[in-house]
Amino acid sequence: MILKIERKNKLSINLMVFAVLNFSWSLAQETYTLSGNVIDELTGETVLGANILLPDLSIGAVTNEYGFYSITLPAGTHKLLISFLGYQTIEQEITIDKDTKLNFKMVEESSQLDAVIIEQNIEKTSIRKPEMSVAKLSSKTIKNIPAVLGEPDVIRSILLLPGVSNAGEGASGFNVRGGGADQNLILLDEAIIFNTSHLFGFFSVFNTDAIKDLKLYKGGIPARYGGRLSSVLDIYQREGNNKEFKMNGGIGLISSKLLLEGPIKKDRGSFLVAGRSSYAHLFLQAAGEENTASFYDLNTKLSYRLNENNSLYLSGYFGRDNFQLGDSFVNEYGNTVANLRWNHLFSDKLFSNLSLIYSDYYYGLNLAVRSFEWESHIINFNLKYDFKHYLSNNFKLDYGINNIYYHFKPGEIRPDSEDSGINPEEFTNQYANEFAAYIDAEHRLTDKLTVRYGLRWSHFTRLGQDEFRVYDNNNPVLFNEEFQIYEGAEPIRVDSFDRSESLADFNNFEPRVSLSYLLNDNTSVKASYNRMTQYLHLLSNTNSPTPLDVWTPSGPYIEPQLLDQYAIGFFKDFKDGDYTLETEVFYKDIQNRIDYIDGADLIANEEIEQVILNGEARAYGLEVLFRKNRGKFTGWLSYTLSKSEQRTPGRNANEPGINNGEWYNSLWDRPHDIAVNGTYELNDRWTFNGNFIYQTGIPTNLPIGQVQQLGLTVPIYGNRNESRLTDYHRLDLSATYTPRKNKDRRWQSEWVFGFYNIYNRMNAASFSFEENRATGQNEAIRTSIFGIVPAISYNFKF
């Protein structure tokens, strides 16, 4: 269970741990196991990352993502401290003379709606855990960050952390340490989410009200995660209150949301239903506007504790985005996820979770101007069985297996009416299976040195399909030396394979190592290495991913992406942990990063292998995070200095590759990235929050000349991504007002007022170059997405 050690602990307690751990704890005598769950007294929900500490023995444990802990103790009477951010610390004596189950109920320090608990920002990385390159945010922190249009947002929040950026406003997804937006493994209650954006990245698909906890791994990724190269964003949904029925919601300018939760059976089972919907489009429609954009999503969860050793969770997510230009263009896309999990305790030292997950990413298009409808799906069935084995206080093992079966339906085109000239056609379905087994140990070697080491074996099979195109020399892309252009080859034949056959097989061993060495009680150094494999590729050739982009599996013509990442870090607490400093440097190297030939058309292209070239990518950088953890003012300053590049050399001496085979900046390369976030709690009623962001502009291309063809003025371009957009910066401010009358009544409310980009900076999202058709002059046009955006929202709870 090594990795899910949370770091929300209070500093004082942390320090106690350090003090205590300096003792030797192997005083051999009879030992017993103390295990159980930590839950919230009011709601009955499990608490992730709570600390269970025995100060006299210098040992401790942390609850896992299902609230379970296990600790080995010598017989006798001991003092116990149970602590968690924002909760009152429990102090208790226990006498242990046999293996004991003990559940703890914690009480929130303040039960006010989202009241700012002063220490809640302590989400720092624990000095001694062999866990680095990890960022953690609670839903409370996320809610405090001023958001565009007033809707708190997970993705926008993590963008304020070092090493995380995106390709600009309106860009979907995020980039971690110079990686692509498709290289993030995004898990919602362990289910893989393919598209994280609503409204082209203006909102993310996660409803913060339904989220309990999230963790972002930028490196040092534990062996239990795999399938994406750059990061893991692991999000857990709340289970819902199993004591009483509760409701909360919010009303904003663009969207509103409502969450209902309550017991199915008191103390045993609960439900949670949370929905969000945008409604700005309704006003637009009422105003006669035919072009609209809207989204909605629904999170549901049922939790049931069968007995002490067994719990069941059934969760679901359903989200859709809808874009409409009158009737001529309708685009709808979204995720559907259903997930059944079974927690089982084999013993008080062996925790297990079995997950069965179904997920369907749907993308549909109705293009009346071309008389057709288009539909595509990625369906997957995912089975995971994970074990957490608490062998001793110094040695813990994680192991498990994971199997994902993929069914890709790249596209089905249908005439949209009887008189459409379109021939119905279904692109060949593709099938694949990804299996992985892993083992991962957290091993405390000495008081100062803790190591985590693990290995993941992944195996990917591209299964048989109909209409598999075979090319001469197995080469689907030809280089036309005469015209110096790449072009698709003609298939020499088309084969059909049975689904049980394998078209291509890939095996990869992915070692993961990280270690932490304590220099003194307040200072540690950490290092990590991880290898990752990614078998799926997002086909995207634009500045930012669009909902039109499709995923394709590795196979005979596309190799899996491989990453090696190295990182070292230095971590220090100051003033008893009032301040913390985290610095890291990283280097990553990616093989088999695909790029596309000039003029590649990726949309509705069944012969995608004909436009793909194989290349590589690399990124390196320095990250600094300085936090103030306590006091009326809390917040952080983050700075990232990094470089992200890509290269696609020619396959032989006669080919130029892309950009003549030279390294070029990736589209999301931002050498400097500074973010400042601060929260100031003035009094019980008013809390202020602000953030400031400064980033180097992303790479772009400026024309190096112009030519006339067919009467058109055409800009011509040189090497790729050599110029940049102007630097990006903005300041956001928000204020939260909690009315005083809240105190003693059931209905509680708050108002959030905010401004996004308060000084109305016109940040360039893109430059485009074209001839002004009215004047005949060539012009450079800057597109900016958001100027100043005010927001107001009203949140309630009862």
Partner 1 sequence: MKKLLYIILMGFFIIACEDVIELETPTGETRINIDAHFRVFTQEEPIRATGRVVLTETVNFFDDNIPAVSNATVTITERESGTIYPFVEATPGTGIYESTDLLFLNDFDAMFDLHVEADGEVYSASAQPIRSAPILEIQQGDLEIFGEEDLELIVTISDTAGIENYYLFDFGFNLYQPLDDQFFDGNEFEFSFLYTEDDEVNLQPGDVVTVINDGVDEQFFTYMELLLEQTDSGGFFSSPPTTARGNVINQANPDAYPLGYFRISEAFTLNYTVQED
Instruction: For partner 1, give the closer residue by CB, 26 or 709.
Output: 709
Residues in region 398-417 near partner 1 by CB under 8 A: 413
766 binds partner 1 per the rule CB under 8 A: yes
Least Å from the CB of residue 152 to partner 1: 20
Identify the residue among 56, 519, 782, 798 touching partner 1 (CB under 8 A).
782
Instruction: For partner 1, give the closer residue by CB, 306 or 603.
Output: 603
Identify the residue among 502, 768, 790, 792 touching partner 1 (CB under 8 A).
768
**Of 209-217, 220-228, 507-515, 785-793: span binding partner 1 (CB under 8 A):** 785-793
538 binds partner 1 per the rule CB under 8 A: no
Single-letter amino acid code for the residue at 431: Y
Give the H/E segment covering residue 197. strand 197-198
Cβ pair 56, 23 in contact under 8 A: no
**Of 49-57, 185-193, 482-490, 504-512: span binding partner 1 (CB under 8 A):** 482-490
Instruction: For partner 1, give the closer residue by CB, 236 or 362.
Output: 362
**Alpha carbons 213 and 221: distance in angstroms, whole number:** 18
Instruction: For partner 1, give the closer residue by CB, 472 or 770.
Output: 770
**DSSP state letter for 368:** G
Cβ pair 343, 314 in contact under 8 A: no
Instruction: For partner 1, give the closer residue by CB, 266 or 782.
Output: 782
Instruction: For partner 1, give the closer residue by CB, 330 or 439.
Output: 330
Cβ pair 106, 82 in contact under 8 A: yes
Instruction: For partner 1, give the closer residue by CB, 653 or 774.
Output: 774
Residues in region 300-329 near partner 1 by CB under 8 A: 323, 325-326, 328-329
**Alpha carbons 588 and 176: distance in angstroms, whole number:** 11
Least Å from the CB of residue 787 to partner 1: 7
Phi, psi of 417 (to 5 degrees): -155, 170
Cβ pair 699, 669 in contact under 8 A: yes
Kindly state the tokens that stand for 343: 């927690």
The SS3 call for residue 734 is: strand
Phi, psi of 760 (to 5 degrees): 55, 45
147 binds partner 1 per the rule CB under 8 A: no
Give the H/E segment covering residue 21. helix 11-21
**Alpha carbons 297 and 209: distance in angstroms, whole number:** 12
Instruction: For partner 1, give the closer residue by CB, 416 or 521.
Output: 416
**Of 25-33, 386-394, 623-631, 782-790: span binding partner 1 (CB under 8 A):** 782-790
**Of 471-479, 531-539, 615-623, 696-704: span binding partner 1 (CB under 8 A):** 696-704
286 binds partner 1 per the rule CB under 8 A: no
**Alpha carbons 554 and 379: distance in angstroms, whole number:** 16
DSSP-assigned beta bridge partners for residue 198? 203
Count residues binding partner 1 (CB under 8 A): 82
Instruction: For partner 1, give the closer residue by CB, 665 or 793.
Output: 665
Cβ pair 678, 690 in contact under 8 A: yes
Least Å from the CB of residue 753 to partner 1: 20
Cβ pair 448, 415 in contact under 8 A: no
H-state helical runs in 92-208: 139-144, 154-158
Question: Which single residue is written with the structure tokens 């109705």?
Answer: 366
**Of 132-140, 418-426, 497-505, 627-635: span binding partner 1 (CB under 8 A):** 418-426
Residues in region 178-217 near partner 1 by CB under 8 A: 200
E runs forming strands in 608-727:
612-628, 633-647, 664-665, 672-681, 686-695, 699-700, 703-709, 712-717, 723-724
Opening angle at CA 315, ends 310 and 319, nearest 5: 170
541 binds partner 1 per the rule CB under 8 A: yes
Instruction: For partner 1, give the closer residue by CB, 572 or 761.
Output: 761
Residues in region 582-621 near partner 1 by CB under 8 A: 596, 598-604
422 binds partner 1 per the rule CB under 8 A: yes
Least Å from the CB of residue 415 to partner 1: 9
Identify the residue among 421, 505, 740, 746 touching partner 1 (CB under 8 A).
421
Cβ pair 426, 412 in contact under 8 A: yes
Residues in region 702-741 near partner 1 by CB under 8 A: 702-718, 720-721
* Of 1, 18, 135, the residue nearest 518 (C-alpha): 18
**Of 385-393, 477-485, 681-689, 728-736: span binding partner 1 (CB under 8 A):** 477-485
**Alpha carbons 64 and 70: distance in angstroms, whole number:** 10
Instruction: For partner 1, give the closer residue by CB, 527 or 785.
Output: 785
771 binds partner 1 per the rule CB under 8 A: yes
700 binds partner 1 per the rule CB under 8 A: yes
Residues in region 210-239 near partner 1 by CB under 8 A: none
787 binds partner 1 per the rule CB under 8 A: yes
370 binds partner 1 per the rule CB under 8 A: yes
**Alpha carbons 36 and 54: distance in angstroms, whole number:** 15
Identify the residue among 137, 147, 613, 765 touching partner 1 (CB under 8 A).
765
Pairing of strands 31-40, 100-101: parallel
428 binds partner 1 per the rule CB under 8 A: no
H-state helical runs in 3-47: 11-21
Kindly state the tokens that stand for 5: 């050690």
Least Å from the CB of residue 500 to partner 1: 31
Identify the residue among 56, 466, 576, 770 touching partner 1 (CB under 8 A).
770
